[in-house]
A and B are shown apart, each in its own frame.
Chain A
């Protein structure tokens, strides 16, 4: 069984919890539908966003150079990281330079991708995630299970116990308002103690050299404005050409993510506040290789809204951790194989190719088509399980020969009728564990057709 299939099976073993998880995410998907239907030009916005990203990917080097020049002119320090290690080392150097010991970080999938937290913790630096969901999973020592709703897999009672143990909240109190207030107090202290604040980047503007960060909690701004130094880590594909393009993306992002008309805070950082320091780290980490792959490059358009996860019938029932990857869900299943085809060869198969992910994607990434294409790559690279290969090679031979097909079909139907139930429904028959096989008919369509014409 593949890793995803095994983890999904384990998740589903608790059916009540699976239903709860599925319901919570379906609710978010519904909110997205309602929100999108309130914008008559929704599909035009998606088309336009997709085209803007096409332009960006086709002119990325020029935009990055333009961005760097504008940001430098604003007094911002720009760094380039070819990979995750270099990204972490750059941040380590800034920390050393400032003798920093305490860091606050707002949500950033990029720093997850680079393993920044572990790197800093190993170097004796305190790093506190300040998004509530991120803080919860950090306390639990777990990776996020969703890119927008990192703690969606955790129940409020579990948060109650966690906060009781770590923040000293009342035992047994699982009221979300009470727990959120406790986290607020805890985090307010952390903001003002921090030497450096780190954030991710939603958009970067080539024309102005600024970065845009979107949150609902206000944690990115609290961090950056309270600390003397702020660092913004961005995947290099986050560039937009001009300020006006934000009009398109800000209209799509929150509506796709949570169904809100906008995130509460959309912050545009162009210069540091007087006496403060602002850094931007531009990260490649495999993106330039991905850019070369014609069939897969447009996965770089992703704006990390999470809509594909909320709509995915598999994700909702298997949980984010079943994808054993930084980015889970449908988008993760097409991004991760770029990094390591062997390690993630199960992910493109964690899908029925239903196509709902592509329909909700605000930048129109053809996710389900890429899943199909990754499957072909996986076979070409000999990473398909042997059992699948053998049986489908035999099937191909059968289908190539109509007479063999007719004969074997008849044989199979006869056997299904003749075999006793215990032989049909055994442990080798995955279909039959929780499903009946169809009743074999007396004759196939072809046999019926022949008889009809002979009558």
Chain B
């Protein structure tokens, strides 16, 4: 059966990283989805809500839900934004549209693993890759096992990434420490945010990583900013681009 999938492109991906949106769209189409992109979408409201202004952000929630009401699934290349919708749209009036959106909204990798249940990918990425496990995807949605927990968790990110041919996934010293982006935290606590980012980058450098990938472009944007400034460090690529077979 062919799903009608609503493509959810977070605002900063739309504006700064269109290639991630393009890869997501192509990847879904390759996997037999009928992709619909509602062009009226803007932002999920996370920046406001995480700063405490949920009451303001809430004004966008219904608008978001309305756009996707006719889709079987809503899929976006960002665990962080998807997590926000699932978890924090609880403060909106629980209309049919909101309920539908919250119940059927998926991160791209999670969708490939849980819904499409893919078992192979016909692409190659002959590089040594460091997987940055963004916190909302890791601890909020358990797309991999958080290092603190002592229970079995299906490693969705790692499993999907391993389907890529010729890829080498590096072990990191701190497997899942936060990169320090944190939305407005990145500027409100600039010193710590940068220090956390530098430490993350260094871990990848120490483990001979050639490309840092992640489900969230926001973490990568922060890490990339640091790498470019210090003129030292791996390349950056969103997981959607790797899974879509894009070259470095």
Which residues in A have some Cβ–Cβ distance to B below 8 Å?
2, 4-5, 8-9, 12, 15, 18, 22, 26, 33, 36-37, 39-40, 42-43, 311, 313-314, 317-318, 348-356, 358-360, 372, 375-380, 384, 388-389, 392-393, 395-396, 398-402, 405, 409, 412-413, 430-431, 433-441, 443-450
Contact = CB atoms under 8 A, between A and B. Distances in A.
A450 B13 CA distance: 16
A36 B124 CA distance: 38
A354 B182 CA distance: 8
A356 B63 CA distance: 32
B135 A355 contact: yes
B190 A375 contact: no
Interface stretch (B43-51, B99-107, B114-122, B154-162): B43-51
Given A375-B50, A449-B39, A317 B147 contact: no
Q: How large is the interface on B (under 10, 10 to 19, 20 to 34, 35 or more residues)?
A: 35 or more
18 contacts: A5-B191, A12-B192, A12-B195, A18-B195, A33-B148, A37-B150, A313-B196, A392-B53, A392-B56, A396-B56, A409-B15, A430-B187, A434-B226, A436-B225, A443-B18, A445-B9, A449-B25, A449-B39
Given A372-B88, A379-B53, 9 more contacts: A5-B191, A350-B189, A356-B146, A388-B51, A400-B60, A402-B42, A435-B229, A439-B16, A445-B18
Contact of A412 (B15, B19, B59, B151): B15
A355 B192 contact: no
Contacts of B228: 435-436
B56 A398 contact: no
B169 interface: no
Given A384-B53, A400-B59, A435 B47 contact: no
B72 interface: no
Interface of B: 9, 11, 13-19, 21-22, 25, 37, 39-43, 45, 47-57, 59-60, 63, 88, 135-136, 138-140, 146-151, 174, 177-178, 180-197, 199, 221-222, 224-226, 228-229
A435 B16 CA distance: 16
A449 B41 CA distance: 13
B188 A353 contact: no
A12 B199 contact: no
Contacts of A409: 11, 14-15
Contacts of B13: 445
A8 B192 contact: yes
B174 A26 contact: yes
Contact of A318 (B11, B45, B192): B192
A36 B19 CA distance: 42
Contacts of A40: 150
Contact of A399 (B11, B18, B51): B11
Nearest to A448: B18
A380 B25 CA distance: 39
A356 B42 contact: no
A39 B19 CA distance: 46
Contacts of A36: 150
B43 to A, nearest CB: 4
A447 B190 CA distance: 32
A444 B221 contact: no
B52 A376 contact: yes
Given A354-B139, A388-B184, A12 B191 contact: yes
Contacts of A440: 15-16
B224 A436 contact: yes
Contacts of B148: 33, 311, 356, 359-360
Contact of A9 (B55, B149, B191, B229): B191
A4 B189 contact: yes
Given A356-B146, A389-B53, A396-B48, A438 B188 contact: no
